[in-house]
A and B are shown apart, each in its own frame.
Chain A
Amino acid sequence: MGTITINGKKYEFTNEKNILTIIRNAGIEVPTLCYQPELSVFGACRLCTVEDDRGRCFASCSEEPRDGMVIYTHTERLRKHRKLIVELLLAAHCRDCTTCDKHGKCKLQHLAYQLGVNQVRFQNHREEMPVDFSSPSIVRDPNKCVLCGNCVRACSELQGIGVLGFAHRGTDAIVTPAFNRNMADTNCVACGQCRVVCPTGALTIHHNMTEVWQALGDKNTRVVAQIAPAVRVAVSEAFGLPKGENSIGKIVAALHRMGFDQVYDTIYSADLTIMEEAAEFLDRVANGGTLPLMTSCCPAWVKFVENEYPEFKPNISTCRSPQGMFSAVLKEYYRDEANAQGKKTVVVSIMPCTAKKMEAKRPDYHTFGEQDTDIVLTTKELIRMIDAHGINFEDLPSETCDMPFGLGSGGGVIFGTTGGVTEAVLRRLTEGKDPNELATIAECGVRGREGIREFTVPYNGIDVKICVASGLANAREVLESIKSGEKSYHFIEVMACPGGCVMGGGQPINGTKQVRRETRRQGLYNADRELVFKRPHENPLMDVFYNGPFKDKTHELLHTSHHE
């Protein structure tokens, strides 16, 4: 509590953890490379250094505010200081900006311009290190690393995994997996939270845009797209539209213009997921199956359990993820020559997620010996492709999805935020059409913002104990509490990224995390409100699926257990 004077103006503060927070709350931007509000304070980059009235300089991220402090954020001395820091960083940095994946979004590049670093007076003595393309999800280029340690802390603090660490010392220091292994040879779950916090191009998405362009350019190939829920609320911000706006109609239109033959919405298969997962849950409850049932939609979470908690593998639902289900259904549909019409089919899924690229390659995401999802694009890649195709996204008229798989329910659309899968399952378990019923579900605790939420829902005479977690460090806490016998649940939903898929590793990064999370989450709840069908079983296409040509193949198409 107290008052602090920043650049001659007084500001009140209460319990802010550092001066930097007060400065930013006052609307003043002080540059940082190593500061992330949700991670521990590191204080390595020194760019947030401020000066007090006695000429003392200190890093504002690691200084507690005191009543009566007088500080200056942009003095000539500080400007010189920041400029030198950036110049020194650039001296030991790859400067091929034009071909860098982070071009235009790189904090270092922006700072160099902002501070007027027009030349670098120092020679680069760092040896060039090989770029690691081994992971299907993340590319690691150590030559572009500024040693801010954001990825190291995100991986260990948010995800509780700790794949990356600092190695060596002084000018030889690098951020690397243990023993300088390739990312593919570590227990990385491919969530991409490291690349979300990376200020430069050292950690980027392993992109697959070229393959998609090639498929689109081939006349003998039918290119079919599916778009995940969280994508629709993250594209708009990249084109100057309101943050969190649902732009599914524009995305469908853009994909059609790029040459996609069929465009579908993953909420269709999210509905299938709920039908299957709810049935599996009721079956496990009725027949004494393994409980708690744990969701299987998030590939990073599934990989995490396989790596670190193999004893819980039987708890994971056998349902494929919505991506996996949709692709399997699409491929099966075009296996019929009448539908294929002599063309090869390539399924492209557009996901907010880097781990989906890894999931697509899993053996249990192959059906009848064929990989179901051919190419996975992240939201970031979609945005780049829209831009590259010369589409004026802002002015695009909305278009609807194609048929025969072009409908989905609100239950499917909220899959993209933490608690969404659970809420959709609960909707499935209610048959009534009473609108109050949906409100009751929404208020049972499923929509909270905490990393771990527990609540109980009465169903058929039992109190169903549910836990919803996002962030793998939180998931670990839940699993440990079950192992120790302290907690027991019937159903657990986990999304690896804190906040769920809307905050996925493949999403664009604009503004603060808090704003991104809130606007996108709200965007999905708004999208739910706009959809006619709220419950998965109200979707008329569910009936078509379960009674149509696929009715004998539901298990092969929708579950992993047949394809190990």
Chain B
Amino acid sequence: MLDASYYRKTDEIISRYVRDARSLIPIMQDIQAEYRYLPAELLSYVAKEIGITEAKAYSVATFYENFSFEAKGKYVIKVCDGTACHVRHSTPVLEALWKELGLSKKKHTTDDMLFTVETVSCLGACGLAPTMMVNDQVHPSMTPEKALALIEELRGKG
């Protein structure tokens, strides 16, 4: 069960929109912008408030890669695995990160909630391939070594 403040915030977000099925996506986006993820309890709450079934809300939320039900780490690392990055060896970068942080295809976030590693299909910076993003910062021409050095640096910052 989430703290009551979450529901108050959600009420405030819902009040920005029409109480209707069509407001689902903007509401989910606002919640995710607030908490960096979409808490499942809040999705159920929103569904009830705007009059759609939970199954429908879940359907929309899982359709878009962008929405996440898992709380994300402080540093969200997006490794690009689009065609250009893939052929320029993005996979070793991803595997190095997974190995270093103890993550996998199934487990995206470290237990200390510091790092989240996910793949994206294209960051739109193919000329800089292989590319990686940490929160809003783009890191070009990555190698496994550069990625690990970056992790060390971020760990230092805490």
A163 vs B57: C-alpha distance in the bound complex, in angstroms?
11
A162/B63 contact (C-beta < 8 A), A178-B58, A179-B40, A179-B58 known: no
How many chain A residues have a CB neighbour from B under 8 Å?
15
Indicate if the CB atoms of B56 and A162 lie closer than 8 Å.
Answer: yes
Distance (whole angstroms) from the CB of A17 to the closest CB of chain B: 25
Indicate if the CB atoms of A167 and B62 lie closer than 8 Å.
Answer: yes
Set A166, A168, A169, A178: member contacting B54, Cβ < 8 A: A178
Residues on B with C-beta less than 8 A from A177 are 54-55
A176 vs B58: C-alpha distance in the bound complex, in angstroms?
9
Interface residues in B52-76 by Cβ distance below 8 A to A read 53-59, 62-63, 69
Indicate if the CB atoms of A165 and B55 lie closer than 8 Å.
Answer: yes
Set A161, A163, A165: member contacting B59, Cβ < 8 A: A165
Indicate if the CB atoms of A168 and B63 lie closer than 8 Å.
Answer: yes
Residues on A with C-beta less than 8 A from B55 are 152, 162-165, 176-178
A277 vs B147: C-alpha distance in the bound complex, in angstroms?
74
Indicate if the CB atoms of B58 and A167 lie closer than 8 Å.
Answer: yes
Residues on B with C-beta less than 8 A from A163 are 53, 55
Residues on B with C-beta less than 8 A from A161 are 53
Distance (whole angstroms) from the CB of B25 to the closest CB of chain A: 15
**B32 close to chain A: CB less than 8 A:** no
Residues on B with C-beta less than 8 A from A178 are 44, 47, 53-55, 57-58
Indicate if the CB atoms of B40 and A156 lie closer than 8 Å.
Answer: no
Interface residues in A110-166 by Cβ distance below 8 A to B read 152, 156, 161-166
Residue of A nearest to B54 (CB): A178
- Tell which of B44, B47, B56, B69 has the most Cβ of chain A within 10 Å: B56
What band does the interface of chain B fall in when counting residues whose beta carbon is under 8 Å from A? 10 to 19
Residues on A with C-beta less than 8 A from B59 are 165-167
Residues on A with C-beta less than 8 A from B57 are 178
- Tell which of A156, A163, A165, A177 has the most Cβ of chain B within 10 Å: A165
Distance (whole angstroms) from the CB of B105 to the closest CB of chain A: 11
Interface residues in B19-53 by Cβ distance below 8 A to A read 40, 44, 47, 53
Residues on A with C-beta less than 8 A from B56 are 162, 165
A167 vs B54: C-alpha distance in the bound complex, in angstroms?
11
A293 vs B47: C-alpha distance in the bound complex, in angstroms?
31
Interface residues in A440-475 by Cβ distance below 8 A to B read none
Residue of B nearest to A181 (CB): B54
A137 vs B44: C-alpha distance in the bound complex, in angstroms?
25
A167 vs B64: C-alpha distance in the bound complex, in angstroms?
10
A193 vs B113: C-alpha distance in the bound complex, in angstroms?
44
Residue of A nearest to B44 (CB): A178
Distance (whole angstroms) from the CB of A265 to the closest CB of chain B: 39
Residue of B nearest to A161 (CB): B53
Residue of B nearest to A166 (CB): B59
Set A156, A162, A164, A168: member contacting B62, Cβ < 8 A: A168
A75 vs B69: C-alpha distance in the bound complex, in angstroms?
48
A163 vs B54: C-alpha distance in the bound complex, in angstroms?
8
A336 vs B113: C-alpha distance in the bound complex, in angstroms?
65
Residues on B with C-beta less than 8 A from A164 are 55
Set A156, A165, A169: member contacting B58, Cβ < 8 A: A165
Distance (whole angstroms) from the CB of A38 to the closest CB of chain B: 20
Residue of A nearest to B69 (CB): A179
Distance (whole angstroms) from the CB of A200 to the closest CB of chain B: 20
Residue of A nearest to B59 (CB): A165
A239 vs B69: C-alpha distance in the bound complex, in angstroms?
51
- Tell which of B44, B47, B57, B62 has the most Cβ of chain A within 10 Å: B62
Residue of B nearest to A152 (CB): B55
Distance (whole angstroms) from the CB of A167 to the closest CB of chain B: 4
A178 vs B62: C-alpha distance in the bound complex, in angstroms?
10
Residues on A with C-beta less than 8 A from B47 are 178
Indicate if the CB atoms of A165 and B53 lie closer than 8 Å.
Answer: yes
Residues on B with C-beta less than 8 A from A162 are 53, 55-56
Distance (whole angstroms) from the CB of B69 to the closest CB of chain A: 8
Residues on B with C-beta less than 8 A from A152 are 55
Residue of A nearest to B40 (CB): A179
A443 vs B58: C-alpha distance in the bound complex, in angstroms?
47
Residue of B nearest to A156 (CB): B53
Indicate if the CB atoms of A169 and B53 lie closer than 8 Å.
Answer: no
Residue of B nearest to A155 (CB): B55
A162 vs B57: C-alpha distance in the bound complex, in angstroms?
11
Residues on A with C-beta less than 8 A from B69 are 179
Distance (whole angstroms) from the CB of A312 to the closest CB of chain B: 19
A162 vs B59: C-alpha distance in the bound complex, in angstroms?
11
Residue of B nearest to A180 (CB): B58
A165 vs B54: C-alpha distance in the bound complex, in angstroms?
9
Residues on B with C-beta less than 8 A from A165 are 53, 55-56, 58-59
A563 vs B53: C-alpha distance in the bound complex, in angstroms?
32
A161 vs B53: C-alpha distance in the bound complex, in angstroms?
8
Residue of A nearest to B53 (CB): A162
Distance (whole angstroms) from the CB of A391 to the closest CB of chain B: 42
Residues on B with C-beta less than 8 A from A179 are 40, 44, 54, 58, 69
Distance (whole angstroms) from the CB of B50 to the closest CB of chain A: 14
Distance (whole angstroms) from the CB of B24 to the closest CB of chain A: 13
A162 vs B56: C-alpha distance in the bound complex, in angstroms?
8
Distance (whole angstroms) from the CB of A159 to the closest CB of chain B: 11
Can you list 23 pairs linking A and B with CB atoms under 8 Å apart?
A: A156-B53, A161-B53, A162-B53, A162-B55, A163-B55, A164-B55, A165-B53, A165-B55, A165-B56, A165-B58, A165-B59, A166-B59, A167-B63, A168-B62, A176-B55, A176-B58, A177-B55, A178-B44, A178-B53, A178-B57, A179-B40, A179-B58, A179-B69
Binding site for B on A (CB under 8 A): 152, 156, 161-169, 176-179
Binding site for A on B (CB under 8 A): 40, 44, 47, 53-59, 62-63, 69
18 more A-B residue pairs beyond the given contacts A162-B53, A163-B53, A165-B55, with a C-beta to C-beta distance below 8 A: A156-B53, A162-B55, A162-B56, A164-B55, A165-B53, A165-B56, A166-B63, A167-B58, A167-B62, A167-B63, A168-B63, A169-B63, A178-B47, A178-B53, A178-B54, A179-B40, A179-B44, A179-B69
